[in-house]
Structure 1
Amino acid sequence: MRDSASRVELTLLPGMLPFLPLALIDHQFSRAWIFAAVWFVAWTIFASWRYLRYLKEISIKGDRHFDRVGKYDLPPEYADSESATAARQRRKR
């Protein structure tokens, strides 16, 4: 789990880099602030989108593992159960 959290921190770092030189500038408001803010928002949206895709991929892999192996570790009356992903795909068909 720590690996996933460190990926998020490293992914958000490029979004904060434009603010670094602004810390040294003594101006109250400039175009650089606008650029840095727009860049930060755009990068955060992009990084969040990628992270949500990553979480969905991990969820699907976990559900596939449950369907192949995990459900047979449960008591026999649960052996015919299915994962949430399998149920969603069945309902779509």
Structure 2
Amino acid sequence: MPTPEIVIYSTQVCPYCVAAKNFLKSKGLEWREVRIDLDPVEREKMVAKAKRTSVPQIFVGETHVGGYDDMMALHRAGKFEPLLQA
């Protein structure tokens, strides 16, 4: 079964975006980055999906993980990796 797509909504100057990507890279994962600073339409889509305006906003498949801190809290609780098996 294929791994659900990981999507990160980010901007160029966002330390938490970099931290999130470094974490995913350390797990050997791939993701699709959507730069909302370059595309206002994508920003609107992100806000509609995530109900938040901050970056990063991370999705695993259809599941909204949240920002970097949210992802790390899920990881520490052992609940991030199971999302990848969905």
Q: Into which bin does the TM-score normalised by the smaller protein fall?
A: under 0.3
Kindly name which structure, 1 or 2, has the bigger radius of gyration based on alpha carbons: 1
**Greater strand percent: which structure?**
2
Question: Normalising to structure 2: TM-score of the pair?
Answer: 0.24
Question: Normalising to structure 1: TM-score of the pair?
Answer: 0.23
